């Protein structure tokens, strides 16, 4: 039975994230994977909050979204404008909200220098576009030179290639999801007063860095980011609606590079972990 503040959603699309795929291989029996979902409201919340029956919605759960029907708190649900497809919407919750909230740690970004590492991934793709939209000078970091043209088309002014960040130029904000050498060297590329938001360890969790380079810049901050904790200060519904409106207005384009039926989740999850495609993968349910 759903709680009074939960709507029942018929799920039509989900997108995959590294964290939930990783965890689904390690979790104890009984844990139900799945964070991102999009679909239609089948039963509105009993307390009258949130979207009505038949409304197309996007939602975020802390677990259990890989299902045909789910109960979603209305605070983590947003109605979708007609122009936004369910596949596009399924990419918003973890990847889109992470990019949105991580960029917010840098304050107003107009004219600021922002570095996005892991820029070809789900989070990075949103972060590059949103930082550009916010008026930042955007540098994308990628592993290979052949990834640079796509990142420039996405909105990056500059692209740095390889797992190390050069010590100059300096950045006011770094959105860092790679870890290891990339995080270690990014810390030495912060402007005085700059913030490095560390949110992922796609390459390595252990990091060494030159502490002098980090503190000599002065008033530098390393910010540990975990989406579900960030959402304690602003419900997911708010950011999901902002992302949906930006897509509807043609200002933001979710990068769905793979769309497959739900039955292919095993293969798609393996392809994600092996980094066989850029952007996001979406799985559809009839």
Shortest approach of ligand NAP to residue 124 CB, angstroms?
5
For ligand NAP, the closer CB: 225 or 262 = 225
CB count within 10 Å of CB 65 equals: 26
For ligand NAP, the closer CB: 191 or 230 = 230
Q: Which residues pair with 38 in a beta bridge?
A: 13, 58
DSSP 3-state of 137: strand
CB count within 10 Å of CB 105 equals: 16
For ligand NAP, the closer CB: 7 or 272 = 272
Q: Which residues pair with 175 in a beta bridge?
A: 116, 197
Shortest approach of ligand NAP to residue 18 CB, angstroms?
4
Residue ranges in contact with ligand NAP by CB under 6 A = 17-19, 94-95, 98, 118-124, 143, 177-178, 199-203, 225-227, 272, 275, 278
Shortest approach of ligand NAP to residue 77 CB, angstroms?
19
With beta carbons less than 8 A apart as the criterion, state whether 15 and 282 touch. yes
DSSP 3-state of 147: helix
DSSP 3-state of 44: coil
With beta carbons less than 8 A apart as the criterion, state whether 185 and 167 touch. yes
For ligand NAP, the closer CB: 62 or 251 = 62
Shortest approach of ligand NAP to residue 227 CB, angstroms?
3
For ligand NAP, the closer CB: 94 or 256 = 94
Element (H, E) at 43: strand 36-43
Shortest approach of ligand NAP to residue 224 CB, angstroms?
8
By Cβ distance, which residue is nearest to ligand NAP? 121
């Amino acid at each position: 039975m759903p709680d009074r503040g939960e709507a029942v959603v018929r799920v039509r699309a989900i997108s995959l994230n590294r964290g939930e795929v990783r965890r689904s291989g390690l979790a104890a029996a009984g844990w139900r994977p799945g964070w991102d979902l999009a679909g239609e409201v089948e039963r509105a919340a009993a307390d009258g909050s949130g979207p009505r029956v038949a409304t197309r919605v996007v939602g975020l759960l802390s677990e259990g979204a890989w299902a045909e029907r789910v109960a979603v708190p209305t605070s983590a649900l947003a109605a979708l404008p007609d122009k936004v497809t369910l596949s596009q919407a399924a990419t918003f919750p973890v990847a889109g909200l992470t990019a949105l909230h991580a960029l917010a740690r840098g304050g107003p970004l107009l004219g600021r220098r922002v570095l996005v590492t892991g820029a070809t991934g789900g989070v990075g793709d949103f972060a590059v576009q949103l930082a550009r939209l916010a008026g930042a000078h955007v540098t994308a970091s990628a592993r290979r030179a052949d990834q640079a043209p796509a990142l420039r088309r996405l909105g990056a002014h500059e692209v740095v290639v390889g797992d190390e960040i050069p010590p100059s130029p300096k950045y006011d904000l770094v959105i860092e999801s790679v870890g290891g050498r990339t995080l270690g060297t990014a810390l030495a590329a912060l402007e005085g007063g700059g913030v490095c938001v560390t949110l992922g360890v796609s390459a390595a969790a252990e990091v060494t860095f030159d502490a002098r380079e980090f503190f000599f810049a002065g008033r530098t901050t390393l910010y540990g980011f975990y989406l579900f904790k960030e959402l304690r200060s602003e419900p997911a519904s708010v950011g999901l609606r902002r992302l949906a409106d930006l897509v509807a207005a043609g200002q933001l384009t979710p990068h769905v590079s793979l769309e497959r039926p739900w039955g292919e989740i095993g293969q798609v999850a393996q392809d994600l972990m092996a980094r066989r495609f850029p952007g996001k993968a979406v799985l559809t349910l009839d």
